[in-house]
Every structure is written in C-alpha cells, then in structure tokens.
A and B are shown apart, each in its own frame.
Chain A
Amino acid sequence: QLQLQESGPGLVKPSETLSLTCTVSGGSISSSSYYWGWIRQPPGKGLEWIGSIYYSGSTYYNPSLKSRVTISVDTSKNQFSLKLSSVTAADTAVYYCAGGRVLDYWGQGTLVTVSS
C-alpha cells in the first residue's frame, strides 16, 4: 500500500517560487507501473491537475501553468517535487501529490498561501 506525504512551506510571497516535495513510502517511485502527479484545489473550488511525471522522467504539464511549472523526481530519496514560479494570490490552494496506476493514492494535501 503506497503512502504519499507532501512537505514544504505553507506561506510563499508573491513573485517567489513555490516548492513542494512528495515522499513516497510502501513502494518504489521507479516502478514502471506507476506515474506521479500534482493536483491543487483553491479554497472552496474544484480540482485542477497541475502535471505528471513518469518513472522514465517524462513530464506533462497543464498548459495554463506550463511556463511556470517544473516537476522532477529523486529516485534516491523516493520523492518527487513541484516547483511553481512567479506565484500570485491565485495560486493559493491545497496542493496534493498523487500516484499509482491511475491516481490511486493521494497525500493528505498541504495548504499553500501566497501572501506578503
């Protein structure tokens, strides 16, 4: 049973870069059976897919965020990460990491607030 846990700052200043890490336990992040992704949810709103990464390193991003997003994987630490640059208040949301064959497994989510 995979378990995922997000970590990172809960407060980021406007124009700075949001950085989050997802630690995977109970299985290998290098498994060819799984892929990994980030999803966010602004307060009171629906789910927005941010991007995904495969064990091969291939990445796919939401076109609306593509110019600001980087997702990477660190197999030595069994982690994958999200960087979102030039943040504004509109990026305030609960950020979830998820993975599996579909999005079977989810982290608990972490609230990131963009404010000075």
Chain B
Amino acid sequence: AIRMTQSPSSLSASTGDRVTITCRASQGISSYLAWYQQKPGKAPKLLIYAASTLQSGVPSRFSGSGSGTDFTLTISCLQSEDFATYYCQQYYSYPRTFGQGTKLEIK
C-alpha cells in the first residue's frame, strides 16, 4: 500500500496568514491526489483533486500543487472558517490511502 505522510500534524496560525501543508507519497502517484477539509462532527469535504484542480464552489484562496511524490496545499489568506483538519488522499492505486491529517488551529 502507498503510505501518505502529511506534515505538520498540527499547525497554529492567525486569520490572514498564508499556510502550507505538505503531503508525501511513499511512491509516485502522478497527480492522483485529493485534499479534503473536515470540521468537527462533519463529513470531509473535497477541496482539490488531480493535485491542483479546485473543486467547484471552493474559494480560490485554496490551491494545490505537486506531482509524483510531493504535494502541497496552500491557503493564501486564512479565514475563520478554514480552521479545520485537512487530509490528503491518493487515488492512484488500491488500496486508497489517506494521510494522517493536519489540524489547523487558531493561534
């Protein structure tokens, strides 16, 4: 199975900050990577797929980049509603695997 490793595991930031979360795959996955946002008690929400394609309705302050084994999710100007846990997931091969999550907290 492909292992997905996110860093950091947690992150404190302030509204208006620019933050970057990284995701590394244990082997190449081309661009078959998705990013999800999850708020407490809610289902995950797809933000980005194909490593850099913004899902419809997702604010443009979210962006993704990378291919192969190294990927990043960037939030350009944090808003209060962005404080949540973020997961990456590869869909290059089965079994599908998620990163362990990055909890973004208010500083």
Contact = CB atoms under 8 A, between A and B. Distances in A.
Interface of A: 37, 39, 46-49, 52, 60-63, 96, 98, 100-104, 106-109
Contacts of A39: 44
Interface stretch (B12-20, B21-29, B61-69, B94-102): B94-102
Contacts of A106: 43-45
Which size bracket describes the interface of B in this complex? Answer: 20 to 34
B95 A102 contact: no
A104 B55 contact: yes
Nearest to B44: A106
A46 B101 contact: yes
Interface of B: 1, 34, 36, 38, 42-46, 49, 55, 87, 89, 91, 94-101
Given A46-B100, A108-B42, A108-B43, 10 more contacts: A49-B98, A61-B95, A96-B43, A102-B46, A102-B49, A102-B91, A103-B36, A103-B89, A104-B46, A107-B43
B44 A96 contact: yes
Contacts, number: 52
Contacts of B38: 47
A98 B100 CA distance: 19
Contacts of B36: 47, 103
Contacts of B99: 46
A95 B49 CA distance: 22
